[in-house]
Structure 1
Amino acid sequence: MATGWAGDGAVQDQIDATVKDAIQRARSQLPCGPGLSHCAECDAPIPDARRKALPGVRLCVTCQSELDREHSAQSGYNRRGSKDSQLR
């Protein structure tokens, strides 16, 4: 049941738009183009299996793991979904 000027499906439309934006943002961050044979950060060789699995890969597993850890610490995304966690 909608209140005010919102239509009946307004909340679901907003949820769908948020999910669509998140998917688009994640896809835009995927590597593309030719991959590297050596890591762009530490110059370690990138195994053929990794380059085949991730076309456009630019980092070795160690450097990519470190980058992922840094990004997850800065994300600030509320995974619990409770109001209390939003206030902290």
Structure 2
Amino acid sequence: MNEYGEEWFYGTSDQAGVFEWFIPCHVKGGGGEAIFAEDKDRQQFLDLLAELITRYQAICYAYCLMDNHYHLLLEIPKANLSQI
């Protein structure tokens, strides 16, 4: 649970016992500094994200890229978030 009382990790289990994770991710630059200076930086990030999602079989339901942080809503069927 975060400081706002929200759960950060949501898990579900189907009848076969397969557990899936739905994870909202919020990542900020240090000290509020920009992590995306230009649109090409955002595009490079999205290209890398697409590659990693394909490689690790994740599903990205939503994203939001801000100058100094980003949000992702991911489903991680194999519980391998640390690799992404």
Q: Which has the higher strand share?
A: 2
* Global fold match (TM > 0.5): no
User: 1 or 2, which has the higher helix percentage?
Assistant: 1
> Which of structures 1 and 2 has the bigger CA Rg?
1
TM-score by length of structure 1 reads 0.30
Q: TM-score, normalised by structure 2?
A: 0.30
